[in-house]
Amino acid sequence: MYNHIIMKILGIETSCDETAIAILDIEESENGASVRVLANEILSQIELHRPYGGVFPNLAKREHEKNLQPILDKALAATGQVTIDAVVVTQGPGLEPCLWTGITFAQKLGKEWNVPIIAANHMEGHILASLLKKENAKEGGESFAFAAPEFPSLALLISGGHTELVLMREFGTYKIVGKTRDDAVGECFDKTARLLGLPYPGGPEISKLAAEARKENLKLGAELPRPMLDSNDLDFSFSGLKTAVLYATKDRKLSADDIKKYAREIEETITDVLAHKLEKAIEKYSVESLIVGGGVIANTFIRSSLQKLADSYGIPLYLPHASHATDNALMIALAGYFKLEKKQEKDFTAKGNLNL
């Protein structure tokens, strides 16, 4: 007889500049997990960090401290004050002062409610968020089905802080097979955008102008460098792209059309590098499915290019729902759920202990 598990899990995410709390109702059956979103609160600090052109860790920490309790109150109110079975908190990777704010808050809740606290990995959260598939609306919140991908599966994680290729040979086992040696993809978008005089975060700005350039048939005469495109490993390097844009635009007055041309070339160069390395990895590991996660996959040009790549290999591509691409606590609650499910008894008896 299959053991049905129904749990209400609260996730907390404070690794960077989003303060987020989500409450999920997860029901496990023989067909997989069904995830109902009871609350999904996100407070973005983008406006606050904009003048600095990036995230300022101590400022972010102060905001998390100020906002966690009101966001928790809002999330609980949205659920009609349900009883929580477990609290999950992002353990890393992320900005250390910010992570500790979330962890301390989770520990307080764990004690108060006498429930276990689970430490989750932020990157695993991004992978799992991409595997959620929207179900027909059910009563009381959005609903998603969760299905394991075809193995071996390869995940590309692209955000402001990370660029990683992760191989998953079976559910829950991860091996990093490639990563950036310097800047992350999102960081590259943000830094090159800044050189073009565009506001932070630069990714969406570049994306918008690049689309206009394609529509208006504007193209830069020269190609930007594609660092490490032909290296034998699966690592990335993006700092050379930023330097190339710096030298090409230094002491020049750029017209609106020039900026669009650069935006297009930057977006297409980054996409090319990502697709090329993915292709190499697909062949090397005989990959059966692709997963892409992280804030940069909000980019529609990258989305459609990677879809074409997956189609050319005849393998499925799992992308996150647009609202789950950037940092959120739903993915953290989900990562914690699978950790609990795997060694449920142990974690449930270790009440209140955060195993860091």
Applying CB under 6 A, the residues found at the interface with ligand KG4 are 16, 159-161, 186, 189-190, 201-204, 207, 294-296, 298-299, 326-327
State the binding partner of 149 from ligand KG4, Zn ion, none, CB within 5 to 8 A by kind: none
Per CB under 5 A, the list member of 130, 159, 163, 207 interacting with Zn ion is: 159
**Closest separation in Å from C-beta 5 to ligand KG4:** 29
Sole window of 158-166, 193-201, 298-306, 315-323 interacting with Zn ion (rule: CB under 5 A):
158-166
**Closest separation in Å from C-beta 120 to ligand KG4:** 14
- With binding defined as CB under 5 A, does residue 45 bind Zn ion? no
- With binding defined as CB under 5 A, does residue 327 bind Zn ion? yes
Rounded Cα gap, residues 196 and 82, in angstroms: 48
**Exposure string over 119-156, b if 16+ CB within 10 A, otherwise e:** bbbbbbbbbbbbbbeeeeeeeebbbbebeebeebbbbb
SS3 35: strand
Nearer to ligand KG4, 45 or 79 (CB): 45
Report cis status (omega within 30 of 0) of the bond before 70: no
- With binding defined as CB under 5 A, does residue 19 bind Zn ion? no
Rounded Cα gap, residues 312 and 93, in angstroms: 33
Task: Name the β-bridge partners of 178.
Answer: 165
* Alpha-helix runs per DSSP H in 79-113: 96-113
User: How many other CB atoms are found less than 10 A from the CB of residue 209?
Assistant: 24
State the binding partner of 40 from Zn ion, ligand KG4, none, CB within 5 to 8 A by kind: none
- With binding defined as CB under 5 A, does residue 121 bind Zn ion? no
Contact 177, 232 (CB under 8 A): no
**Closest separation in Å from C-beta 280 to ligand KG4:** 22
State the binding partner of 204 from ligand KG4, Zn ion, none, CB within 5 to 8 A by kind: ligand KG4
Q: What Å distances lie between residue 101 and 108, 114, 225, 269, CA to CA?
A: 11, 20, 40, 37
Q: In what helix (H) or strand (E) does residue 170 lie, and over which residues does it extend? A: none
- With binding defined as CB under 5 A, does residue 124 bind Zn ion? no
**Closest separation in Å from C-beta 47 to ligand KG4:** 14
**Closest separation in Å from C-beta 119 to ligand KG4:** 18
Sole window of 140-148, 169-177, 305-313, 320-328 interacting with Zn ion (rule: CB under 5 A):
320-328
Q: Which residues bind to Zn ion, rule: CB under 5 A?
A: 159, 327
